[in-house]
Amino acid sequence: MAYKKPESVLVVLYDQHHKVLLLQRNDDPEFWQSVTGAMEDGELPIETAYREVAEETGIDAKQLSIEMFNHNRQNQYEIRSRWLHRYPPGTRFNTEHVFSLQVDSTLPLVLTEHLQYEWVDKAQALARLWSPSNKEAVSMFVPNVP
């Protein structure tokens, strides 16, 4: 198995009604999150963001000409011990680049890495998300309902 690069993206998806897309992880059903994924060698963060959204949801935002918002924000967090084996030996921290994407919630989703998905309001998302950086991104970058 090739090691993951300790640099990733977080992409918060929300719809026209400001509902947030939550994804339930296959490997930890208690863990709900936004789209995330490790950067590949030679890939820019924006390229990773578009790729991960397409891989995890089936939404090809680039092909649909949906603009990805780069918040020029990086978080650094300690990698959960249960996932350390995926990274080079001695790696403890990951750098995460934060993006958001507004999509139409009627677009069909095709899950490849998650058990299920739900569109929930911002308050519900904040209550259910596991990751502090994911909660912060939803809080900061998903508009409040007018």
Judge whether 136 is annotated as a binding position. Answer: no
Q: Are 96 and 10 in contact (CB under 8 A)?
A: yes
Q: Is-contact 49 39, C-beta < 8 A?
A: no
131 is in an annotated binding site: yes
55 is in an annotated binding site: no
36 among annotated binding-site residues: yes
SS3 at position 44: coil
Cα 61 from Cα 48, distance rounded (Å): 12
Determine if residue 56 is labeled as part of a ligand binding site: yes
Which residues belong to the annotated binding site? 4, 25, 36, 52, 56, 113, 131
Which residues belong to the annotated binding site for Mg(2+)? 52, 56, 113
Which residues belong to the annotated binding site for substrate? 4, 25, 36, 131
